[in-house]
Amino acid sequence: RVVVGTKIDEGHNNFVRAYNMLTGIRFCVSRIHAKMERDVNDADFKHAQKYSFDITGSELTPSAKYDFKFKDYAPWVFRRIRAAFSIDPSDYLVSLTAKYILSELGSPGKSGSFFYFSRDYKYIIKTIHHAEHKFLRLILKDYYDHVKANPDTLLSQFYGLHRVKLPYGKKVHFVVMNNLFPPHRDIHRTFDLKGSTIGRDFREEDLEKNPRATLKDLNWLRRNLHLEFGPTKKEAFVAQMQRDVALLQRLKIMDYSLLVGIHDLERGNEENLRDKTLQVFQPGSKKPEEPQMGQLARTPSKLESAKRARELRESVKKERPVPLAQTLDKMPGEAHRKGFYFYQDDGGFQATHEDDMPGEEVYYLGIIDCLTRYSLVKKLEHLWKGMGGHESQISPIPPERYGDRFIKFICGITMSRERAENERNQRMSQ
């Protein structure tokens, strides 16, 4: 969230890279949406298009602020995937506008990937390793088919796969995906759950220093928490998770986790209201833009928003790229996920009681980090052992078992408050 993000301005090391990423995305997305709708074919999955941007511009590409190379992978396929997730093309472009540069989360995981938020917090750009990139291309057809058949999938929603390269720089691959967490609501606790206990503990002592840290399986169990869904929501949630995990097992993927953000409705948004403002910065200007996010921020009038949205939509239709300078202030909480089961409650999935009546929490959840193939983990494991590490310190189990263990764990912690209480009483009386 905001607090963790560092705004990227022109002095920032990664400013140029982030700026180029956005410039490239906007160009490619405008370009593909300018084409007439048609069916995707097998070649579309393999297709990739290279572009060269420079200050003067060329017949194909407009002039850009910096010289860089950009590669767009499977644009037709991703256009379809975005449509399957009801992402409006002009909204997408607006969110990823380069005028307001992103905020950077740095590299929270061990993998070394960088994370960037779009300025309105809807999208995340994650740099990925070459192996992950190759793997995503390899499984793209399976992923696409799965998304088509399961619009309510809990898996990360990949909206684009691209590569950027600065002159003399190295090639950096990245994906654009959904931010599971909302811009307009405090997330009071975050968990990253794998269903394993080995090394799955965030030091509780460190929580004071870092109250928004992502906690893990053992922290969850220690707190005796549950994903409090009554029978109806639980059934839907478990069924979708099983379908998603079945795909991951078939593709020999592992090391993924269920990311869970909990918003406590009783605590609401009172805390850290000031922190709610997203750090946005308009390069070239001296002072940061007014905050655009949260109910607190200045919001444009509905009319103003509608007018600018229309203009953008028109410009997409007219087959010309949306000028970079043109932006649209979005209303907070305006969910592009409307109609999606697990995001039905204002972008989240609200707890329910045993009688299916609404509960006290809203969960924001999804299965993330699902581009790690078993063979790669095996390789890393060997490397680790070669460096003197011990096998018991890691837990690379085969994808079948990884998935089964994952499902078992998540099912086991999914129950309404009443049910959890019942089970506790039963245990006590035994």
Quote the crossing angle between the two packed helices 75-84 and 130-149, to the nearest 10°: 50
Q: Which of 334, 55, 290 lies closest to 184 in space, CA to CA?
A: 334
- DSSP code of residue 411: H
At closest approach, how far in Å is the CB of 372 from Ca ion?
5
Q: Pick from 98, 102, 155, 177 the residue near ligand ATP by CB under 6 A.
A: 177
Q: How many residues bind ligand ATP (CB under 6 A)?
A: 19
Q: Spell out, one character per residue from 76 to 105, where the chain touches ligand ATP: x when CB under 6 A holds, - when not.
A: ------------------------------
Question: Cβ distance 5 to 105 under 8 Å?
Answer: yes
Q: Spell out, one character per residue from 251 to 270, where the chain touches ligand ATP: x when CB under 6 A holds, - when not.
A: --------x-----------
**What is the helix (H) or strand (E) element at residue 376, kind and residue range?**
helix 374-386
Judged by beta carbon distances under 5 to 8 A according to partner kind, the member of ligand ATP, Ca ion, none in contact with residue 214 is: ligand ATP
Q: Which of 359, 413, 341, 335 lies closest to 179 in space, CA to CA?
A: 335
At closest approach, how far in Å is the CB of 132 from ligand ATP?
8
Verify binding: residue 111, ligand ATP, rule CB under 6 A: yes
Q: Pick from 49, 111, 150, 282 the residue near Ca ion by CB under 5 A.
A: 111
Verify binding: residue 181, ligand ATP, rule CB under 6 A: yes
Quote the crossing angle between the two packed helices 231-250 and 130-149, to the nearest 10°: 130
Count of beta carbons in the 10 Å neighbourhood of residue 37: 9
Identity of the residue, 316 or 368, whose beta carbon is nearer to ligand ATP in the bound complex? 368
Beta-sheet pairing, 68-73 with 158-165: antiparallel
Verify binding: residue 369, Ca ion, rule CB under 5 A: yes
Verify binding: residue 367, ligand ATP, rule CB under 6 A: no
Question: 165 to each of 73, 168, 171, 380, 397, how far by Cα in Å?
Answer: 14, 8, 5, 27, 36
Gyration radius of the chain over CA positions: 22
Q: Where are the beta strands (DSSP E) in 220-315?
A: 257-264
**What is the helix (H) or strand (E) element at residue 226, kind and residue range?**
none
At closest approach, how far in Å is the CB of 109 from ligand ATP?
2
SS3 190: strand
Verify binding: residue 180, ligand ATP, rule CB under 6 A: yes
At closest approach, how far in Å is the CB of 109 from Ca ion?
5
Using CB under 5 A, which of the segments 62-70, 100-108, 320-328, 361-369 binds Ca ion? Answer: 361-369
User: Sign of the CA dihedral 15, 313, 86, 301?
Assistant: positive
Verify binding: residue 120, ligand ATP, rule CB under 6 A: no
Judged by beta carbon distances under 5 to 8 A according to partner kind, the member of Ca ion, ligand ATP, none in contact with residue 29 is: none
Q: Where are the alpha helices (DSSP H) in 269-342?
A: 302-317
Identity of the residue, 22 or 367, whose beta carbon is nearer to Ca ion in the bound complex? 367
Q: How many residues bind Ca ion (CB under 5 A)?
A: 2
Residue that the structure tokens 């995340």 belong to: 124
Verify binding: residue 116, ligand ATP, rule CB under 6 A: no
Count of beta carbons in the 10 Å neighbourhood of residue 212: 16
Verify binding: residue 293, ligand ATP, rule CB under 6 A: no
Question: Cβ distance 430 to 288 under 8 Å?
Answer: no
End-to-end Cα, the chain, rounded Å? 44
At closest approach, how far in Å is the CB of 57 from ligand ATP?
34
Q: Pick from 91, 192, 329, 354 the residue near ligand ATP by CB under 6 A.
A: 192
- DSSP code of residue 9: -
Verify binding: residue 127, ligand ATP, rule CB under 6 A: no
Q: Where are the beta strands (DSSP E) in 308-352?
A: 349-352
Verify binding: residue 124, ligand ATP, rule CB under 6 A: yes
At closest approach, how far in Å is the CB of 124 from ligand ATP?
5
Verify binding: residue 110, ligand ATP, rule CB under 6 A: yes
Verify binding: residue 414, ligand ATP, rule CB under 6 A: no
Which positions touch Ca ion (CB under 5 A)?
A: 111, 369
Return residues touching ligand ATP (CB under 6 A): 108-111, 113, 115, 124, 156, 177-181, 190, 192, 214, 259, 368-369
